[in-house]
Amino acid sequence: MEKEKKLVEAITSMDKNFAQWYTDVVLKAELCDYSSVRGCMIIRPYGYAIWENIQKYLDDAFKATGHENVYMPLFIPESLLQKEKDHVEGFAPEVAWVTHGGEEKLTERLCVRPTSETLFCEHWAKIVQSYKDLPKLYNQWCSVVRWEKTTRPFLRTTEFLWQEGHTIHATAEEAEEETIRMLDVYADACENLLAIPVLRGRKTDKEKFAGAVSTYTVESLMHDGKALQCATSHYFGDGFAQAFGIQYSDKNGKLQYVHETSWGFTTRSIGALIMVHGDDSGLVLPPRVAPVQVVIVPIATHKPGVAEKAEELRQRLNKVVRTKLDATDKMPGWKFSEYEMKGIPVRLEVGPKDIEKGQVVLVRRDTREKIVVAMDAVETKVTELLETIQVALLEKARRTQNEKTFTVQTVEELRDALDRQAGFAKAMWCGDQACEDKVKEVATATSRCIPFEQEKAGETCLCCGKPAKHLVVWGRAY
């Protein structure tokens, strides 16, 4: 039992030091490791398996909504990046520059893609002629690089994995519809796959994507009350189309500019997963995204029949859920700790007494509840229990989010409230960026979004006291 104790002790309590707890979990659950490249992480098998489940879910949703996958180059010539003015201003300061190929100095610097709008636009300008060529609904899975000053595993890394959807449409209406459709795909993935409740809304101009007309976001709240942007969807109007000359001839043979969108979901979501559901024993994974849904831990394996029964259960269960059997000679207690750390939703214990009684013991990772079920019914019981856990995790996270959501009237109230307890703070805003800047200065909070579900929390702006235009949700964010 010494090793078990040691393993548990090695994790910082989340209430004592949340940042350290987070780092402990990502390392000890073997989600990732640091590399010798500044700000770049190694995604280890367990972390990558979570990402593969996210990819599968999103990729299916993209294809079901008519999107096709493509692959664009890793590099963007400097002149191409510069074609859209706002875009280059947003990204140029934080890109990695390739200046040499082999021994040869390049005549033009290439940046490692921070995002690929410019590449998609250049391609579309070549291949789009007629309204019959529209829409183009493309997506790509890749990594991108942004030269970050301070980095944290999954949350902010110099290189990260993501998908970037890019689409062009004949009309502004169609493009706007697409922007919201994909935001809804993201909200669905957050809530139904990751069990993370989200707030859907529009970013203020200050917070929107470089080059976008409007940016929509799904925002979530972590255990420590800090906000995290889970994914964004951008509507570009015809700004890029004008900069890149992407035109089509409409039904009347008249040349028109296309209307464009882009949207992205990143490995950051794994950071959210950890910080929404985790506890002092480590990760807690929602069953639908868990690489292993049930781990079988046989008890007293030296007793006759136990190893065989455990293997039989593995084979039966693996037909309906992702199952792992740990038949190693480690102590059961040590295994319990390890799989709790890894957040496996259900542990199945089976020993000589259980076999005698024709039963197994199921232990929930989220509540630690022990449930004795008949061995004959194990497939049904485990499947049901996983569904129950999935629902319970979302409900629990929603309760936490509600508890940490409050309304304030002034920027000072906002500051005091956030100092007491971080969370989503609702307050009215006049729409003026000067007031948004002041919120940052006084309350060190940013506007998370202008939620789609507007309510009237007051009449006047939290800063200037002038008539308010929008309800904004403010917070301190990752």
Tokens for 342, please give them. Answer: 């890894």
- CB of residue 128 to its own copies, shortest distance in Å: 12
- Closer CB to its own copies, 27 or 464, in the complex: 27
How many CB atoms are located within 10 Å of the residue 158 CB?
19
- Closer CB to its own copies, 100 or 456, in the complex: 100
* Distance separating alpha carbons of residues 14 and 401, to the nearest angstrom: 17
> Terminus-to-terminus CA distance in the chain, angstroms?
38
- CB of residue 365 to its own copies, shortest distance in Å: 22
Beta bridge partners of 346: 294, 364
- CB of residue 165 to its own copies, shortest distance in Å: 13
- CB of residue 216 to its own copies, shortest distance in Å: 25
Beta bridge partners of 69: 139
Residue type, 99: T
Q: CB of 192 within 8 A of CB of 288?
A: yes
- CB of residue 114 to its own copies, shortest distance in Å: 10
- CB of residue 316 to its own copies, shortest distance in Å: 20
- CB of residue 133 to its own copies, shortest distance in Å: 12
- Closer CB to its own copies, 43 or 425, in the complex: 43
- CB of residue 35 to its own copies, shortest distance in Å: 5
Q: CB of 33 within 8 A of CB of 103?
A: no
- Closer CB to its own copies, 18 or 141, in the complex: 141
- Closer CB to its own copies, 63 or 469, in the complex: 63
- Closer CB to its own copies, 52 or 419, in the complex: 52
Kindly tell me the burial class for residue 394, based on how many C-beta atoms sit within 10 Å of its own C-beta (0-12, 13-18, 19 or more): buried
Instruction: Dihedral sign for Cα 333, 337, 342, 344, please.
Output: positive
- Closer CB to its own copies, 75 or 406, in the complex: 75
| φ, ψ for residue 467, nearest 5 deg | -55, 135
In three-state secondary structure terms, 405 is: strand
Q: CB of 277 within 8 A of CB of 270?
A: no
- CB of residue 442 to its own copies, shortest distance in Å: 29
Q: CB of 439 within 8 A of CB of 417?
A: no
Q: CB of 167 within 8 A of CB of 138?
A: yes
Chain residues binding its own copies by CB under 8 A are 33, 35-37, 40-45, 48-49, 51-52, 68-77, 80, 93-104, 110, 112, 119, 122-123, 126-127, 138, 142-143, 145, 147, 158-159, 161
Q: CB of 203 within 8 A of CB of 232?
A: yes
- CB of residue 362 to its own copies, shortest distance in Å: 26
Q: CB of 347 within 8 A of CB of 333?
A: no
- Closer CB to its own copies, 43 or 360, in the complex: 43
- Closer CB to its own copies, 124 or 429, in the complex: 124
* Distance separating alpha carbons of residues 76 and 79, to the nearest angstrom: 8
| φ, ψ for residue 331, nearest 5 deg | -65, 140
- Closer CB to its own copies, 328 or 455, in the complex: 328
Q: CB of 42 within 8 A of CB of 267?
A: no
* Distance separating alpha carbons of residues 99 and 111, to the nearest angstrom: 9
Q: CB of 366 within 8 A of CB of 392?
A: yes
